[in-house]
Chain A
Amino acid sequence: MPASPQAAIEVQALVKRFPGIVAVDRLTFDVRPGEIFGLVGPDGAGKTTTLRMLAGVMPPDEGTARVAGLDVARDPEGVKHQISYMPQRFGLYEDLTVEENIRFYADLFGVRRREREERAARLLAASGMSEFRDRLAGKLSGGMKQKLGLTCALVHTPRVILLDEPTTGVDPVSRRDFWRILYSLIAEGVTILTSTAYLDEAERCHRVALMHNGRLLMCDTPALLKARLPAEAVVSIVTADPRAARDAVEQAEGVLGLRLAGDQVRLGVDDGPRRIPQLRTRLETAGVPVEEIGMVQPTLEDLFVATVEGRVSAGA
């Protein structure tokens, strides 16, 4: 689908090298206008480096990237005017109030005074921070700091927003508020590229690019990615004694992988409907109390592990 040149991001065989390491290794993907796109991967996958290149603050070594129709290597300053970039270490002034921080960033971005007040009021209301206008930024909780950071980054109405792990370390309630803001921005026609190491957060994006060691593993909607776990089914055994359950089933036929997770044992099996009765028998014979046993939806984590372990082929 051809991307509208004004709002999309196009990355083509992008490369960035540092001494001894290829941080971004021939990365290729597109972000469609109005989409929330996730760059997903563990620390060291190349997410921050990619975002820096797209924000025009770090030149690529090879390949091309266009943001809002502009080439990041040829016109980085042009790119910076079209976008908002919120890096991980975001610069809030701890001894200024919420309101003063917003005013500072509005001035920095050259936002006209009247627009700025109206916009700030809307953003603060959307993030539930209106009553904290006069609170010193240094006194805000982690989650609120992130929301303020986002508010400051958005004060000049960019068309494209680049966020680097904006919710790392933030509690789930603040995270939901944060995502509510992102979804409302999409409704206004903004395009968002966000990076995350939280696989459960990746599920909230419209499409994701899974990255590992600088490379793209795969790129699609979360649902379609998970559908790539083929013959393998994921079975969960909920039990009061997960270790005994593990001992009872780890050698069973058809079990491809197993891990303990809290109050359950999660198994990758070759054929769920066929193996579940067999597993149940094994558990009964071993006297293991089973609360539930059944197939469960695979998560992006199951997919990631299966891909890195070679049980699912990578490829966009």
Chain B
Amino acid sequence: MSNGNDNSVVVEKLVKRFGDFTAVDGISLETRKGEIFGFLGPNGAGKSTTIRMLCGLLKPTAGRAMVAGFDVAREPERVRQNIGYMSQKFSLYNDLRVIENLRLFAGLYSVPLAVTDARIEWALEMASLADRRTAITAELAGGWKQRLALGCAVLHRPPVLFLDEPTSGVDPISRRAFWDLIHHMAEEGVTVFVTTHYMEEAEYCNRLALIYRGRMVALGTPNELKQRHMKGELLFIEAEPLGPALEAVESAPDVLDAAVFGNALHVVVEDAAAMQARLRAYLEARNVRVSAVEPIRPSLEDVFVSLTTGFNGNGKGKAT
């Protein structure tokens, strides 16, 4: 266990049981100060339970976690005072003005009165909402609500920030601007935890942990996950007609999984180089016209699916 640097999160063999159901089964990780760390995993995998423990909202059954230097089991209130939380359904009051929401949250987070005005100005500047402080929150377009919600979540300048799918549904330009903001905060030493199903958000994280059935099944940078954790390799196959092509591929030997992707197939095999020519021949022998077969890089989603489904060898991934 490291020295509990104030801005980091340290988790050691964290366990949570509800009756005889083990929701979190021994998760361990450490985040560096200023890191943007992503939590991925299907619902029910233990992700939210883990986050709740890290936020000091739920007591662990076993193991330890230190957030911002405080033990989540022994000093949960100190943990909660030192974290910010922004959820997708943010708790902004839509009929309040921008500045009124900020004042409300300053009060909720017990920001000392002496610094409240200054903090609110800082949040307004950061969110680029300084000249919109009297706008009614409901009238802000999507991306701006996100920025306001972020501002409200950090008025107490927490060293650790939890974000729950913060930019889902937001247009790509606003999303990039929002993540620039997050990067900026991370550069100043804030540790940011993100939970998301949105692979585009996952790509913004410095490192990712994949949680499945209460365990961490993969940990690494997006690139590491794509290179080292993908079971098998990925082939892109353009073929017609597509329906019969899929059926044929699924029944081909040594194919681990196959899925239609728009006008092509993504096929998982052990050895892409070896299978390229073989699959082409296999398909052509079954009257499928093949216009392209090439190895492609797996996406984060491919890795996620490969780690969370058991390929049953019939070419169909099925959730286990």
Contact = CB atoms under 8 A, between A and B. Distances in A.
A197 B168 contact: yes
Given A142-B43, A172-B199, A305-B173, A261 B204 contact: yes
Given A172-B199, A173-B42, A305 B261 contact: no
Interface in B199-233: 199-200, 202-207, 221-224
B204 A262 contact: yes
Interface in A245-277: 259-264
B304 interface: yes
Nearest to A266: B203
Contacts of A143: 42-43
A128 B259 CA distance: 15
A205 B88 CA distance: 26
Contact of A262 (B141, B173, B205): B205
A204 B197 contact: no
B142 A43 contact: yes
A304 interface: yes
B253 interface: no
A172 B304 contact: yes
B187 interface: yes
A171 interface: yes
A183 B316 CA distance: 14
A42 B170 contact: yes
B198 A198 contact: yes
Contacts of B309: 173
A291 B223 CA distance: 10
B243 A200 contact: no
Interface in B158-196: 165, 168-174, 176, 179-180, 183, 187
Contacts of B28: none
Contacts of A52: none
A221 B262 contact: yes
Please classify how large the interface on chain B is, using the bins under 10, 10 to 19, 20 to 34, 35 or more. 35 or more
Contact of B172 (A170, A177, A262, A305): A305
Contacts of A263: 206-207, 221-224
Contacts of A260: 179-180, 183, 204
A301 B309 CA distance: 28
A197 B259 contact: no
A contact face: mostly helix, strand, loop, or mixed? mixed
Nearest to A38: B262
Contacts of A199: 172, 200
B205 A204 contact: no
Interface of B: 36, 41-44, 88, 141-142, 165, 168-174, 176, 179-180, 183, 187, 197-200, 202-207, 221-224, 243, 246, 259-263, 299, 301, 304-305, 308-309, 317-319
Interface of A: 41-45, 128, 141-143, 168-174, 176-177, 179-180, 183, 187, 197-200, 203-206, 212, 221-223, 238, 240, 242-243, 259-264, 291-292, 301, 304-305, 308-309
30 contacts: A42-B142, A42-B169, A43-B142, A43-B170, A141-B42, A141-B44, A142-B43, A143-B42, A168-B169, A170-B197, A171-B42, A171-B43, A173-B319, A180-B259, A183-B243, A183-B260, A198-B198, A199-B172, A200-B200, A203-B262, A204-B260, A206-B262, A243-B187, A262-B204, A262-B221, A263-B206, A263-B224, A291-B223, A292-B223, A305-B172
